[in-house]
């Protein structure tokens, strides 16, 4: 009887898993660590990426810039003066606009800089005062893209997990005008590390529509995300293109190349003029109708989007209303924990 009871129990367990309506949710949104666990440690350092990995994210982000000697390094800006001590170390190397550009420095020079929490180069004050201390003696450095790939793949091997990389080519048109083939070099490195396939756990993301199309011409076979915001890029006047990419015509054309539509969160939850409420746009629905997945950026617990009062409000909107496929966060553990609590992970 005991053996028969055990068999019946096992059968019941299998039935509970397979009966329609009783199965576990098939909706499993993915979490990308924005510049690593940047809400807790200086952004885009290997240390911030290690912390993000330990938080159980799906992807870790790499923003890629190119140096004067054509090396790929991981930084969010084309400038060096928002996260490093370049102004102190190389005071005479700024351009006429007063900024220090990564493309004007060699990799060794950038490697010699100390990375800190993000700050305003005009005032010297931290952008997020409540985060990691701005002035420490810790010698954080700017990593090479290759190092990041090695770290993620090394951790995947040692832990048995399969965390992916989410690589953004920064301002490809700007770098191309400096004679630096950043898009080609990034795709080449992704390929050399085994990432150039649809199921390789790598996503390539770009703000430049022309570069998105070119990425396919250069042989990129993996998931491809089009980043969209109202003002377009910083170094290229393409706000009109980003506006077009929010139209049905633009979405249909984009879907020929991109597999992921990744707009600024404010384009999905449009804030009211007083910032106290928001309107849900249909942009995400139309992007999905065009055949693309929907990702967005960037969730920060210390900089709530306008129209929302609590973290839970934002998360509920993202995953219960919008049904996002993926989200970027400076605080990826907060998103991971929410998804676990709501049985979405």
Does 161 participate in catalysis according to the annotation? no
- Quick check: is 122 in a domain? no
Name the catalytic one among 44, 76, 242, 295: 76
The half-sphere exposure of 72 on its side-chain side, counting CA atoms within 13 A, is: 23
- Quick check: is 14 in a domain? no
- Quick check: is 108 in a domain? no
- Quick check: is 215 in a domain? yes
Domain at 272, CATH number: 3.20.20.190
Strands 202-206 and 224-228 come out as: parallel
Tens-digit pLDDT profile for residues 41-82: 999 999 999 999 999 999 999 999 999 999 999 999 999 999
- Quick check: is 119 in a domain? no
Does 28 participate in catalysis according to the annotation? no
How far, in Å, CA of 209 to CA of 214, rounded? Answer: 9
How far, in Å, CA of 95 to CA of 97, rounded? Answer: 5
Confidence of residue 21 (pLDDT cuts 50, 70, 90): very low
How large a percentage of the chain has pLDDT more than 90? 93
Confidence of residue 20 (pLDDT cuts 50, 70, 90): very low
210, 240, 333 from 246: Cα distances, Å: 16, 10, 31
Domain holding 66, by residue range, is 26-78+143-341
Tens-digit pLDDT profile for residues 134-145: 999 999 999 999
- Quick check: is 102 in a domain? no
Instruction: Determine contact, residues 82/165, Cβ cutoff 8 Å.
Output: no
Tens-digit pLDDT profile for residues 209-227: 999 999 999 999 999 999 9
Sequence-distant (≥ 6) Cβ neighbours of residue 302 within 8 angstroms: 39, 128, 130, 131
The first and second tokens of residue 243, run together, are 């506006």
- Quick check: is 87 in a domain? no
Confidence of residue 11 (pLDDT cuts 50, 70, 90): very low
Give the E-state strand segments of the chain in sequence order: 30-33, 59-66, 72-74, 164-169, 202-206, 224-228, 260-263, 269-271, 278-280, 293-299, 326-329
Q: Tell me the three state secondary structure of residue 296.
A: strand
The half-sphere exposure of 137 on its side-chain side, counting CA atoms within 13 A, is: 0
Sequence-distant (≥ 6) Cβ neighbours of residue 175 within 8 angstroms: 65, 66, 78, 103, 181, 182
Is 12 a residue whose pLDDT tops 90?
no
Name the catalytic one among 34, 44, 242, 295: 34
Number of domains composing the chain: 1
- Quick check: is 209 in a domain? yes
Is 1 a residue whose pLDDT tops 50?
no
């Amino acid at each position: 009887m005991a053996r028969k009871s055990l068999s019946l129990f096992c059968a019941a367990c299998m039935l509970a898993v397979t009966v329609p309506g009783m199965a576990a949710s098939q909706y499993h949104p993915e979490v990308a660590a924005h510049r690593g666990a940047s809400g807790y440690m200086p952004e885009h350092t290997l240390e911030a990426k290690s912390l993000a990995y330990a938080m159980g994210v799906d992807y870790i982000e790499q923003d890629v810039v190119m140096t004067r000697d054509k090396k790929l390094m991981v930084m969010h800006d084309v400038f060096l003066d928002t996260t490093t001590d370049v102004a102190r170390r190389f005071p005479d190397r700024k351009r006429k606009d007063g900024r220090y550009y990564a493309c004007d420095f060699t990799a060794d020079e950038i490697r010699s800089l100390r990375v800190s929490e993000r700050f305003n180069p005009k005032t010297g004050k931290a952008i997020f005062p409540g985060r990691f201390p701005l002035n420490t003696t810790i010698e954080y450095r700017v990593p090479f893209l290759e190092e990041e790939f090695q770290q993620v793949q090394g951790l995947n091997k040692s832990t048995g997990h399969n965390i992916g990389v989410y690589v953004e080519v920064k301002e490809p048109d700007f770098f191309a005008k400096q004679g630096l083939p950043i898009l080609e070099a990034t795709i080449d490195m992704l390929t050399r590390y085994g990432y150039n396939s649809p199921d390789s756990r790598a996503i390539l993301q770009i703000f430049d529509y022309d570069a998105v199309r070119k990425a396919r011409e250069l042989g990129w076979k993996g998931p491809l995300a089009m980043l969209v915001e109202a003002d377009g890029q910083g170094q290229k006047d393409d706000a009109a293109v980003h506006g077009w990419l929010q139209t049905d015509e633009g979405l249909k054309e984009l879907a020929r190349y991109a597999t992921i539509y990744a707009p600024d969160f404010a384009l999905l939850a449009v804030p009211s003029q007083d910032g106290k409420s928001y309107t849900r746009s249909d942009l995400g629905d139309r992007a999905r109708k065009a055949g693309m997945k929907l990702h967005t950026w960037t969730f920060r617990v210390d900089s709530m989007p306008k129209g929302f009062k609590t973290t839970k409000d934002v998360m509920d909107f993202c995953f219960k209303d919008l049904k996002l496929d993926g989200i970027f966060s400076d605080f990826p553990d907060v998103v991971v924990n929410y998804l676990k609590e709501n049985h979405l992970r």
